[in-house]
Amino acid sequence: MSQSASLHTHQVVVIGAGAAGTSVAASLLRQRPGLDVAIVEPGDVHYYQPALTLVGGGAYSLAKTARPQAQTLPKGARWIRAAAQELQPEQNRIILDDGRSFGYDILVVTPGLKLDWDKVEGLRETLGRNGVCSNYDPSVAEYTWQCIKQFRGGKAFFTQPPAPIKCAGAPQKIAYLAADYFRKNQIAGQSELRFYAAGGALFSVPDFVPHLEKVARRHNIGLLMNHNLVAVNGDTKEATFRFTDGEGEAREITERFDLLHVTPPQCAPDFVKASPLANADGWVDVDQHSLQHVRFPNVFSLGDCSSLPTSKTAAAVRKQSPVAATNILAQLANGQLKASYDGYTSCPIVTGYGKVMLAEFVYGGKVTPTLPLSPFKESAFYWQVKKRALPPFYFDYMLRGREGDIAHKAR
């Protein structure tokens, strides 16, 4: 592949050392020790984001979600501590925010997604104060728990922005935990709980919707679909939602709240959106099975920033990573790409303290559990799996590039 003479070139450059970038790099190095892999990552700390829901619900410590990046990066990879700023796939080149440039034979684009706090007017100014909280930012996830503990009745709102978002179940999980806590502490009677979703359904896979609606009813949570949070005033404790009325007219309504848990709007990172790698919506445009870019064969992407038409989760990354690694090695050897991803993703939907409904599915919304247990039943076993088994599995197994697996299937 042609490179300019002065450009420092690596065999593989990975952008972003989150769930996806770290596991792919580790898998590549496990299969091919000595491969020249460089990882571009500006952050010092790697968070296990799936546990942030439990942090917000007071059931997990924030400290346990975080590990120093230096410990989670695979041995043998070179860490480039900077952020990617520009992608030039025609020249096999990336430009960093500190002015350096690197060339590559293979580029793996895994910088996750952008939490677009500024898309909700007034939100950034009041986040972490005035009863406005969010589990989506580790620096304020503990404030969610503070808000829930200090709630003495009144209106508690939980919001979900337009899709796609990471972990589509997370906005409702914290509503269920809060409702359960209020019930156990005898403040449910003085409380009004509402779940405002920008979309038309509680969950993307129709089979789960009636079961989740039942959970919401049990918790006495009012469901307001097609209501998109557009503004927050922390001082007056008011939230404004945009919705379409019965005549098809766009309207806005402003409501007073005592507690507001916000899931922010989400989109592809700006440098990805602005690059030749993006599709019309800004995501890295990859083949949904091979994870190879549709126009640049030496570029692969997976995880939250990819165009893969499935729910954006770490569980999805776990199944994408071995496919990406296998196909990257094949591409390096000019071979055929044989590994194929089926769209598997999973979302442990916490429905109360000690209870989880485990939604597992593949492309097309086909329900495919790993274990022979009903996917629609709330389970104490899956709560233990989420709280105790998955965090060490993530840090010590998945991020190490270990790929042993139990097959999921339609049952």
Ligand X SMILES: Cc1cc2nc3c(=O)[nH]c(=O)nc-3n(C[C@H](O)[C@H](O)[C@H](O)COP(=O)(O)OP(=O)(O)OC[C@H]3O[C@@H](n4cnc5c(N)ncnc54)[C@H](O)[C@@H]3O)c2cc1C
Q: By the criterion CB under 6 A, which residues form the site for ligand X?
A: 15-21, 40-43, 49-50, 52-53, 83-84, 110-112, 135-136, 166-167, 170, 269, 271, 303-305, 312-315, 317, 347-348
Q: Kindly state the smallest distance separating residue 246's Cβ from ligand X, in Å.
A: 34
C-alpha separations of 287 from 78, 269, 337, 339 in Å:
28, 19, 11, 12
Among 97, 121, 93, 118, CA closest to 107? 93
SS3 52: helix
Return the structure tokens found at 133: 């909280």
Q: Which member of 133, 147, 167, 267 is catalytic?
A: 167
* Nearer of residues 233 and 311 to ligand X, judged by Cβ: 311
The helix (run of H) or strand (run of E) holding residue 138 is helix 138-150
Query: Side-chain half-sphere of 220: how many Cα atoms within 13 Å?
Result: 15
Query: How far is the C-alpha of 290 from the C-alpha of 210, rounded, in Å?
Result: 34
For 47, residues 6+ apart whose C-beta sits below 8 A from its C-beta are 65, 66, 138
Distance CA 183, CA 389 (A): 28
Residue type, 411: R
Find the shortest distance in angstroms from Cβ 272 to ligand X. Answer: 8
Shortest Cβ 349–ligand X spacing (Å): 8
The CA-atom distances, in angstroms, between 93 and each of 13, 16, 130, 260, 329 are: 10, 16, 45, 43, 20
Give the three-class secondary structure for 96: strand
Residue closer to ligand X by CB (options 37, 237) is 37
Q: Which of left, alpha, beta for 303 (phi over 0: left; psi -120 to 50: alpha)?
A: left
Q: Which of 171, 95, 184 is CA-nearest to residue 134?
A: 171
Please give the residue whose beta carbon sits closest to ligand X in the complex.
18
Q: How far is the CB of 157 from ligand X (least distance, A)?
A: 17
267 is catalytic: no
Nearer to ligand X, 89 or 233 (CB): 89
We find the least distance from the C-beta atom of residue 350 to ligand X, in angstroms, to be: 8
Rounded least distance, CB 408 to ligand X, Å:
14
Say whether the peptide bond before residue 171 is cis (omega within 30 degrees of 0). Answer: no
Cβ at position 333, least distance to ligand X in Å: 25
Q: How far apart are CA 324 and CA 11, in angstroms?
A: 15
Both tokens of 287, joined, read: 């083949």
- CB contact at 8 A, 301 and 155: no
Nearer to ligand X, 138 or 154 (CB): 138
Whichever of 185 and 384 has its CB closer to ligand X, that residue is 384
- The residue annotated as part of the active site, out of 133, 147, 267, 347, is 347
How far apart are the C-alpha atoms of 154 and 191, rounded to whole Å?
5
When the beta carbons of 80 and 237 are compared against ligand X, the nearer one is 80
Query: Contact at 8 Å (CB) between 345 and 316?
Result: yes
Residue number with CB closer to ligand X (240 or 288): 288
Question: Which residues are catalytically annotated?
Answer: 167, 347
